[in-house]
């Protein structure tokens, strides 16, 4: 159960990264949006791969529970991020 909880928190942490970048980018013009998307993708992918690498290398959590929880919550965070980006773009 601990592995599932940490996996969910790790995936949802990517949503926090995305939200911070979105707040940082907001005063910029819409035509720079591609730069935000690329930066956000790189940071989130690095974070998730870092979590996966750390857990698999240290064997500190049960990987067969951690990995699906991490990837599932990461996918949900991606969907939420897409909706947030649409909201920001439509509001400009």
Tens digits of per-residue pLDDT, 26-51? Answer: 788 878 888 888 999 999 999 999 99
Residue among 77, 53, 72, 78 nearest 5 (CA)? 72
- Domain limits, the chain: 2-91
CA 73 and chain centroid, separation: 9
The pTM score is 0.84
Task: Report whether 14 contacts 76 (CB < 8 A).
Answer: no
Q: What is the pLDDT along the chain (92 residues), one digit of tens a residue?
A: 899 999 999 999 999 998 898 888 878 887 888 888 899 999 999 999 999 999 989 988 898 999 999 999 999 999 998 898 888 888 86
Question: 21, exposed or middle or buried, with CB in 10 Å at 0-12, 13-18, 19+?
Answer: middle
């Amino acid at each position: 159960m601990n592995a599932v909880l940490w996996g969910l928190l790790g995936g949802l942490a990517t949503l926090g990264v995305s939200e911070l970048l979105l707040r940082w980018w907001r005063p910029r013009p819409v035509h720079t949006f591609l730069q935000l998307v690329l930066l956000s993708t790189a940071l989130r992918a690095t974070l998730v791969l870092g979590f996966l690498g750390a857990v698999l290398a240290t064997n500190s959590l049960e990987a067969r529970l951690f990995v699906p929880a991490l990837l599932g919550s990461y996918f949900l965070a991606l969907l939420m991020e897409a909706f947030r980006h649409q909201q920001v773009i439509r509001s400009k």
